[in-house]
Amino acid sequence: MYGLKPTFRRLENTGSTAITTGPLSATMLDLKATYRVLAQPEPSDVAGQLFAPPSTASTTTPQMKTIGMYKTWFARADYSIIAICQNMPKSHRSLSNKPSYEVVDIEIPYMAEGQKRMHPAPYSPN
């Protein structure tokens, strides 16, 4: 099962204003085709008109991808998760047996502050 969460208001939505709609498909090719149809600008949707129509560029030629890894975040994980993440470049290779992506270190500003806001410490009277 493949899914896509597009930018807020990218796809026309007649439901609640607090949701983002996106397609689900059995294959990536089906997902791509579905998104191309759904993401066509809707003339009656003012917000949707702000987005360009989806690209129809061919994706048959594999291109090198970049994956950003926030090592500070992963360092807090269980060892088994850390091992999987560290071995990703070795285990995921293209048909030519060359890495199909590179992993780069990233920083996410205000991550600690965001976590404190989303998951505050239990109340303590001291």
Provide the residue-wise pLDDT of the chain in tens; the chain has 126 residues: 888 877 777 776 666 666 777 888 888 888 888 888 888 877 777 777 777 777 776 656 667 778 788 888 878 888 888 888 777 666 555 545 666 777 788 998 888 787 777 666 664 454
Give the range of the structural domain holding residue 88, as residue numbers without chain letter.
Answer: 65-118
In this structure, the answer to whether residues 94 and 69 fall within a common structural domain is: yes
In this structure, the answer to whether residues 71 and 28 fall within a common structural domain is: no
In this structure, the answer to whether residues 109 and 69 fall within a common structural domain is: yes
Whether 57 maps to a domain, the answer reads no
AA letter at 85: C
Whether 38 maps to a domain, the answer reads yes
Whether 126 maps to a domain, the answer reads no
Evaluate if pTM is beyond 0.75: no
Count of other CB atoms within 10 angstroms of residue 113: 9
Q: Rounded to whole angstroms, how far apart are CA atoms 41 and 52?
A: 7
In this structure, the answer to whether residues 18 and 42 fall within a common structural domain is: yes
* Total domains present in the chain: 2
